[in-house]
Amino acid sequence: MLSIETMLNSSPPLTHTLSIDRQLKYRMNISSLLDQHYCYALDRQFLLADLIEGLDWHYDVSTGVLSFGDRYHFQAEILGTEAEADATWLWSWANEMSFFHPERIQTALKMKQWGEEADIPELTEPCLSLESIDGHTLGMIAVGEQLGQAYYRGPHAGGAVLLLIVEPQIPWSVENSLQRIITVFPQIISEREVENHQVALRHYLNHYGFEPEETGNTIIVRQQEQVVLRASFDEFHRLQELKTSIL
């Protein structure tokens, strides 16, 4: 059985050679994608963290199975690797040293194709500085685009591997999606930097299947013709007030 640690550690120390850095020209593209998917992707990461808390991880490259202790076993693909030596990200499709099986990098290749079509170099450049982008950002975009259920950053000697869980079903559940949103959203914007709260909340609601009404700086959600959520924002799109009345 070939583990990710064995495969990566058998190669020379992780360093990635950077091409010309173009991230400033295109930063808004990645930023807008992250704004759309940030809250939902973090929501999935919170669910995963609760599920696997305290469990060791192992990834079998030959089978594509990501295991957490003896309890959970999920199919996962490799998005890429982070190297500590030169602080860079390398996409799995560009990693010629590790000889990843094509089945393990399908999602990374899809993201590359998408980047080519949309002219997003962060998705097409083989190697990027971790100062401009990292595995967490790319993992959240992949989850938000529904290419996977969640991602896991697996640390190893010299860096980390970013694994996207593509298992069809994960043993977690959200009984009341609106309740989860009104609990998680304030937590996210209070603990993390979210540039546009209004955009983030709108897309978070969309991810859960809601169709919010948006007028100016106000977002409303109705259920059975009754307003169950009302959010107001200031001129900078920062949350001012969040009121709920869950049916």
In this structure, of 55-64, 90-99, 138-147, the range with the lowest mean pLDDT score is 90-99
Domain span including residue 76: 4-165
Residue 2 has pLDDT above 50, yes or no: no
In the chain, the number of structural domains is 2
156 plus 117 within the same structural domain? yes
30 plus 98 within the same structural domain? yes
85 plus 151 within the same structural domain? yes
The per-residue pLDDT for range 146-157, each reduced to its tens digit, is 999 999 999 999
In a domain, 171, yes or no: no
More reliable by pLDDT, 27 or 166: 166
Q: Pick from 68, 70, 59: which is nearest to 6 by CA? A: 59
For 211-229, the three-class secondary structure string (H helix, E strand, C coil) is: CCEEECCEEEEEECCEEEE
102 plus 204 within the same structural domain? no
CA 211, distance to chain mean position in Å, is: 23
Q: What is the pLDDT of residue 24?
A: 36
Residue 3 has pLDDT above 70, yes or no: no
In a domain, 170, yes or no: no
Distance, CA of 104 to CA of 46 (rounded, Å): 24
Domain boundary (115, 144, 165) is at: 165
158 plus 52 within the same structural domain? yes
47 plus 141 within the same structural domain? yes
Domain boundary (165, 189, 212) is at: 165
* Confidence at 25, pLDDT banded by 50, 70, 90: very low
158 plus 189 within the same structural domain? no
Residue 188 main-chain phi, psi, to 5 deg: -65, -50
| Token reading at 63 | 């089978």
16 plus 49 within the same structural domain? yes
Question: Is the Cβ–Cβ distance between 154 and 57 less than 8 Å?
Answer: yes
In a domain, 183, yes or no: yes
> For 137, which DSSP code?
H
In a domain, 172, yes or no: no
Q: What is the pTM of this model?
A: 0.85
* Confidence at 4, pLDDT banded by 50, 70, 90: low
The single residue listed with the structure tokens 């007028």 is 215
Domain boundary (112, 140, 165) is at: 165
Helices 177-191 and 197-207, packing angle to 10 deg: 150
Residue 69 has pLDDT above 50, yes or no: yes
